[in-house]
Amino acid sequence: MNTSGNKISLTTFGESHGVAVGGVIDGFPAGVSLDFDMVDSALRRRSGRDLATASQRAKAEQDEVQWLSGIMDGVSLGSPIAFMVANTAHRSADYEALRDVYRPGHADEAYMLKYGIRDHRGGGRASARTTLPYVVAAALVQQLPMMRDISIDAYLVEVGGREFSDNGELVDFLRGVQAEGDSVGGIVECVIRGLPAGVGEPLDDKLQARLAQAMMSIPAAKGFEYGTGFEAARMRGSICNKQRDGIAGGISTGDDITMRVAFKPTPSIIIPQKAKKRMPDGSVSEVDLSVGGRHDVCAALRAPVIVEAMATLVIANLIG
Amino acid sequence: MNTSGNKISLTTFGESHGVAVGGVIDGFPAGVSLDFDMVDSALRRRSGRDLATASQRAKAEQDEVQWLSGIMDGVSLGSPIAFMVANTAHRSADYEALRDVYRPGHADEAYMLKYGIRDHRGGGRASARTTLPYVVAAALVQQLPMMRDISIDAYLVEVGGREFSDNGELVDFLRGVQAEGDSVGGIVECVIRGLPAGVGEPLDDKLQARLAQAMMSIPAAKGFEYGTGFEAARMRGSICNKQRDGIAGGISTGDDITMRVAFKPTPSIIIPQKAKKRMPDGSVSEVDLSVGGRHDVCAALRAPVIVEAMATLVIANLIG
Amino acid sequence: MNTSGNKISLTTFGESHGVAVGGVIDGFPAGVSLDFDMVDSALRRRSGRDLATASQRAKAEQDEVQWLSGIMDGVSLGSPIAFMVANTAHRSADYEALRDVYRPGHADEAYMLKYGIRDHRGGGRASARTTLPYVVAAALVQQLPMMRDISIDAYLVEVGGREFSDNGELVDFLRGVQAEGDSVGGIVECVIRGLPAGVGEPLDDKLQARLAQAMMSIPAAKGFEYGTGFEAARMRGSICNKQRDGIAGGISTGDDITMRVAFKPTPSIIIPQKAKKRMPDGSVSEVDLSVGGRHDVCAALRAPVIVEAMATLVIANLIG
Amino acid sequence: MNTSGNKISLTTFGESHGVAVGGVIDGFPAGVSLDFDMVDSALRRRSGRDLATASQRAKAEQDEVQWLSGIMDGVSLGSPIAFMVANTAHRSADYEALRDVYRPGHADEAYMLKYGIRDHRGGGRASARTTLPYVVAAALVQQLPMMRDISIDAYLVEVGGREFSDNGELVDFLRGVQAEGDSVGGIVECVIRGLPAGVGEPLDDKLQARLAQAMMSIPAAKGFEYGTGFEAARMRGSICNKQRDGIAGGISTGDDITMRVAFKPTPSIIIPQKAKKRMPDGSVSEVDLSVGGRHDVCAALRAPVIVEAMATLVIANLIG
């Protein structure tokens, strides 16, 4: 289903190349004066427009939020806050040639197997564009009084298996990858500071479990760890016990929490690949595929704001 | 909260040294003839009695399930299946000295901060004993017709940072760790075979997200990855696209799914540690602590059957 | 919260005089060719435009649905179906005088007490306009194959305490009430035919309990009964046992189910009333109030299509 | 499913003649000192032992609660509170003759149609004995600080269509019904006092909708109304607006709330009835049935404590 959260829930909708993507935030308290610039700022980070990188996709997206309900004179009413962002950058024609092709590394075939129908126009519901409503919702949720003293900061720590000391070096690296027609993955780290002790539940709503679920919901995420993470499996107890990972028994301790999420490379690449194609008679044959169009060389570049949004929504639903 | 699953849900209860641990399985279909030997077998694996290792804890646990409802003449009725396992191995006196001590690496302090009260007798709700009901429930759920062709197998791939080619070598290693009064962690791998395509939902109930949540709910779990996992972040797209990880867009593809879960070392160690102690006047002072009693040298040894149980319950709730 | 249903859920949003009302239908199966005329037809019934009565409100509402997601070329995609209906009939100025008045029989004061803020423009979230998304959703849901053989028909059986043999008589009666500046209530009966046996759950999701909840969610509903209803309390067991009410133990039996819902009179009346008014200093004083504007003389007239919609959504969530 | 409530949830289990009935209360706050006499007192009211009536069933039930978890030294731990009550009054042999008979007015046939199997021993999950866990849970929940100033009182206002001015008259009436081998229904009224304003949600969790759902979940309930109820449908708006029903727009106003629930007569009667019987070859034939054994003449007599329990649980889940 498409609803997450049970206190401040978010129901999302929209395919990448349909009319709009959007969401409904339910349980948002009444009487909060909202700063919409924070929403715009988050969307700009998500769009990649601020990245000094060779993102072809970035300039196409100029997302404007339409607020449909739940707000009067800039103040929340306590009723559901619905919003939408029109998909203005329709270039569905780009995708017509892909109508029956299952792009490698994409969900095209899985959707077809599950639904017997799919929106072939740019990934439909599987597109990373569906992360947009989470970013919008989180930009409001972080304005709640209970969230004010909590900071959630995510950043790239690794791209294509390498760490970069400055942005210029990173841009050079990405241009090289792009010139090869290939793509790379990356690792995003996120630090949560100021979270009070006592957040999270002992068994099924452990804080780390909810964070893991949220992070692994982001398209292209392949792994999650927090605190000592995978390295803990190689430590002695006498050493590991000295670490303060910020969570114990599923419950926050008041210490900082650090987590890391691994993202695979963008699957859309120019390098020719073999792909499955469903033929008119229902059979599947193999075709050569080179994916043109606007595609990021490294989807992880735009992931930090999404990681922050997901963490924000998890925390808001476990607090209070 | 203590309920997981929305189709075949499991509500668990019980502290490690209270009257009993148990659960209520809701949504279990009617008319299924149940093999209770499968439950006993799973509990024996969980107890570690079959491990040829120096687990002191193992022999103490002889868990017997009492079935309270939902079954008549060995056949499920369609009503909630409630069960309990008495905590016969009460040795609460062992814990009396720990009443006000916060053991390092345990949830003692976090519970106190959250609830203002805690069951100090052996970890209470934070104890690994609370995983028992999941193992019982999964042993029934895997008998459902819809689960028959799906195999879920978990096993240790790493203990204390090392791989072991035979069991004897592992036992020697663990005896060494035990002799030092220390403990080690480990990594469990789990392969899901025979899962039909189409299981999982696009956004908030992605198969990998639900699996991650379930795995990160197991006590001592610190990291999760599936398929290419963290390694994917270091691959090129042209290489990564060739992998079949068994999940695309959150939906199973029909291919095998491999995941790995990292467990930290057992926090209860004999080596003396510094611990916090809450004093009668409410202040907290530091004391020296050496945790005696029955404790595993490596909790990960008993984790595979729990990993399998968690995966079984996730899948049963996403199928059909 | 504003979500109902756990299989085919509906999340609604919108205040009566905000930008729009709408909803998100989640869990709607893929591959269903949708007939949008059925939606328009249901909305027309809801608007009262087809009633030969003196509804002033009716002509103002010409609701047009905008489909935002989940449908491609008229076929459902399996993703959330979001839709909205703009509130074109904005006459918020009508309500400016009511900004601080709590209209008798309305939820104005309750909202203020709960939220500390309210949308005074025509009832906001408490307006009957918020039933519109349920009618839209039900008009799609009834097109699902599993609903095809089930008929759900609601109709007025009593208006203002009287039964009417023909429509003309009813119109005359309502004109009389209107001339007095007053309003009347009514009773809606609904018959569910063709529902297969086995729908509903034994304890917390009894079919009659879910129906009661849904019906009592409709604005102005004050009572619910099904089958022998309140009359059963006056029967002998030997007589009552012979009735087939269509539900036993919370589960449908395959027989027809009849239910009745009582609606109070429209609270907005022209006859002068005493009302509370919140004064600038926070105190509350009493004022004389005569509610002008477009108001139904009998809100129950438009209720049958809403009763049908609610019942449709309940049943779709308990079947299959 | 068998869980109700999302803040303080109750999951129930047990068939009337199985091992036990019981429940798991989740979300119960930590640190509450519990008075278990209140539980015993509520169970005694439920058993009918205090009624000066000719209830044959009453003396058989001496229910003793076993607390399985969530409580230490009489104080709640914040973890799930599980409890069970053994079904000591097993007289399953009474029911052996009914193995294949569908008793009129009971859920026997509906269960068989739904599950293809049923517990024929005394109604199984459809028995009124399944209301016991709600009574236990409510007796704890009403001890929460947030519930202290709220009083919820239910009482019989009508039995067999008659009002009774004194208990002796009622007993005489019931003896007469019993002598005829018949049974009667009744109407229970419940008044909620002291509920603060603001409880309930605007759309899907309207206070009256949740109350209606809970009341209609009680076995034998056929109708629900609150405040002016069905009578409102016969009032003029100018009159109805003057009533204060305690709920407006789904939200409590701080005024008292009165509701009424109609119960049908106990279906088990001695007067011979025609009943369906499933024959060994699967066909259904008609047999003569006279239901002996311990049965109440009027199930509604024991309903008030159940009505109070249901209302208590609803309110605790909507407050705070």
Mutate to test the interface with B, among D4, D9, D12, D13 (most CBs of B within 10 A): D13
Residue A35 structural domain = 3-318
Which chains share 3+ C-beta pairs under 8 angstroms with C?
A, B, D
Given a cut of 80, whether residue A60 has pLDDT beyond it is no
Residues of A in contact with C67 (CB under 8 A): 19
Q: Which of C21, C2, C23 is nearest to A26 (CA)?
A: C2
A58 and A47 in contact (C-beta within 8 Å)?
yes
Inter-residue long-range contacts of B210-213, CB under 8 Å, 24+ positions, other chains counted: B210/A213, B210/B314, B210/B317, B210/B318, B211/A216, B211/B259, B211/B310, B211/B311, B211/B314, B212/A209, B212/A212, B212/A213, B212/A215, B212/A216, B212/A224, B213/A209, B213/A210, B213/A212, B213/A213, B213/A216, B213/B314
- Which segments within A142-246 are labelled E, that is strand? 151-159, 186-193, 221-226
Helix axes C303-318, C207-216, angle to 10 degrees: 140
CA distances from A289 to A98, A126, A180, D272 (A): 9, 20, 16, 78
User: Which candidate, B114, B151, B156, B175, places its Cα nearest to that of B303?
Assistant: B156
pTM for this structure? 0.96
Establish if B81 touches chain D: CB-CB under 8 angstroms: yes
Instruction: List the helix and strand counts (H, then E) for chain A.
Output: 8, 16
Does the pLDDT at position D55 exceed 60? no
Per-residue tokens: B42? 């799973």
Say if the Cβ atoms of A273 and B236 lie within 8 Å: no
Q: Strand C3-4 and strand A221-226: pairing?
A: unpaired
**pLDDT at B90 exceeding the cut of 70:** no
Mutation for A interface: C10, C11, C21, most A CBs within 10 A: C11
Mean pLDDT of A40-66: 74
Record: contact C202-B79, CB cut-off 8 A: yes
Q: Residue D87: how many CA atoms within 13 Å on its side-chain side?
A: 25
Mutate: best of D28, D81, D201, partner A, most A CBs <10 A: D201
Residues 85-114 of C with CB under 8 A from A: 114
Average pLDDT of chain D to the nearest whole number: 92
Residue type, A98: L
Specify the residue for token string 């080596």.
Answer: B271
CA distance A133 to A13: 8
The residue whose two tokens read 């109820």 is D229
Contact partners for chain A, using 3 or more CB pairs closer than 8 A, are B, C, D
Answer whether A202 sits within 8 Å of D79, measured CB to CB: yes
Which one-letter DSSP state was computed for residue B191? Answer: E
* Interval C166-172 mean pLDDT: 93
Q: Which residues pair with D288 in a beta bridge?
A: D274
Q: How far is A286 from chain B (nearest CA, A)?
A: 14
pLDDT in tens, D199-251: 999 999 999 999 999 999 999 999 999 999 999 999 999 999 999 999 999 99
DSSP string, chain D: --EE-SSSEEEEE--TTSSEEEEEEESPPTTPBP-HHHHHHHHHHHHTTTS-S--TTGGG----EEE-SSEETTEE-SS-EEEEEE-TT--THHHHTTTTEE-TTSSHHHHHHHHS----STTGGGSGGGGHHHHHHHHHHTTSGGGTT-EEEEEEEEETTB--SSHHHHHHHHHHHHHTT--B-EEEEEEEESPPTT-S-SSTT-HHHHHHHHHHTSTTEEEEEETTGGGGGGSBHHHHTT---SEETTEE-SS-EEEEEEEPPPS--SS-EEEEEE-TTS-EEEEEE---SS--S-GGGGHHHHHHHHHHHHHHHH--
pLDDT of residue A299: 87
The closest of C119, C116, C144, C114 to C130, measured between CA atoms, is: C119
Residues 260-279 in D contacting C (C-alpha not used; CB under 8 Å): 262-269, 271, 273
Residue C257 has pLDDT above 70, yes or no: yes
Residues B219, D195: Cα–Cα separation, whole Å:
41
C-beta atoms of C72 and A31 within 8 A = no
Q: Which run of H or E residues covers position C263?
A: strand C257-263
Q: pLDDT value at position A54? A: 47
- Chain centroid to CA A292: 23
pLDDT digits 0-9 by tens, B269-301: 999 999 999 998 888 899 999 887 667 899 899
Residue C247 tokens read as 């539900």
Do C124 and C17 meet the contact criterion of CB atoms below 8 Å apart? yes
Q: Look at the block and give the residue holding tokens 């740019």.
A: A122
φ, ψ dihedrals at C56, nearest 5°: -70, -30
Which pLDDT belongs to residue B89?
64
Backbone angles phi, psi at B130, to 5 degrees: -70, -5
CA distance D193 to chain B (A): 30
**Amino acid at the residue C63:** D
On average, the pLDDT of chain C sits at: 92
d(Cα B310, Cα A206) in Å, to the nearest integer?
14
Q: Is B82 on the interface with D (CB under 8 A)?
A: yes
- Of B245 and B295, the structure prediction assigns the larger pLDDT to B245
Question: Where in chain B does DSSP place strands (E)?
Answer: 3-4, 9-13, 20-26, 65-67, 71-72, 75-76, 81-86, 101-102, 151-159, 186-193, 221-226, 247-248, 251-252, 257-263, 273-278, 284-289
Q: Are C146 and C320 in contact (CB under 8 A)?
A: yes
Residue A287 CA: distances (Å) to CA of A92, A284, C28, D66: 21, 10, 33, 67
Q: What are phi and psi of C65, to 5 degrees?
A: -85, 130
* Residue A123: per-residue pLDDT: 80
pLDDT of A58 above 60: no
Q: What is the mean pLDDT of residues D136-145?
A: 98
| Partner-chain residue, chosen from A6, A79, A202, that has the shortest CB–CB distance to D202 | A79
State the Cα–Cα distance between residues D120 and D101, nearest whole angstrom. Answer: 9
Q: What is the pLDDT of residues D287-304, one digit of tens each?
A: 999 887 667 899 899 999
Residue A287 β-bridge partners? A275
Average pLDDT rounded to a whole number, residues B229-240: 97
C221 touches chain D (CB under 8 A): yes
Average pLDDT over every residue of B34-38? 98
ipTM above 0.85, yes or no: yes
Distance of CA A263 to the CA centre of its chain: 10
Q: In chain C, whose CA is at the least distance from the CA of A85?
A: C68
CA distance B312 to chain A (A): 15
Q: By CA distance, what is B224's nearest residue in A? A: A224
> How much is the mean pLDDT over chain B?
92
Given strand B273-278, what is the order of strands in its sheet? B101-102, B273-278, B284-289
User: Buried (b) or exposed (e) across A266-286, using 16+ Cβ within 10 A?
Assistant: bbbbbeebebbbbeeeeeeee
A232: closest CA among B241, B102, D299, B222? Answer: B222
Q: What count of other Cβ atoms lies within 10 Å of the Cβ of residue D250?
A: 27
User: Does residue A132 belong to the interface with chain C, where contact is any CB pair within 8 Å?
Assistant: no
> Which member of D11, D14, D80 has the closest CB to residue B68?
D14
| Residues D72-126: tens digit of each pLDDT | 999 999 999 999 999 986 666 667 778 889 999 999 999 999 999 888 777 889 9
Distance (Å, rounded) from C-alpha A43 to C-alpha A220?
19
pLDDT of residue C54 exceeding 50 = no
Q: In chain C, which residue's Cα lies nearest the Cα of D274?
A: C242
Nearest CA-CA distance, residue C105 and chain A, Å: 21
Q: What percent of chain B has pLDDT over 90?
A: 82
Does C267 sit within 8 Å of D185, measured CB to CB?
no
Q: Is D189:C230 a contact under the CB 8 Å cutoff? A: no
Q: For residue B228, what is the DSSP state?
A: T
Structure tokens at C177: 């009430």
Confidence band of D50 (pLDDT split at 50, 70, 90): low
Query: Domain with C116 in it: what CATH number?
Result: 3.60.150.10
The Cα A132–Cα D154 span in angstroms is 51
Q: What is the DSSP letter of A266?
A: P
CA distances from A18 to A127, C3, C265 (A): 11, 24, 43
Number of domains chain A is built from: 1
Predicted confidence band at A88 (pLDDT cuts at 50, 70, 90)?
confident
Percent pLDDT > 70 in chain A is 93
Distance from the first to the final alpha carbon of chain A = 25
What's the average model confidence in pLDDT over C90-116?
A: 85
The tokens for D258 are 């009165």
- Report yes or no: A254 and A196 within 8 Å, Cβ to Cβ: yes
Q: Residue B179: enclosing H or E segment and its boundaries?
A: helix B167-179
Residue C69 carries which DSSP code? S
A142-152 tens-digit pLDDT: 999 999 999 99
Is residue A2 within 8 angstroms of chain B, CB to CB?
Answer: yes
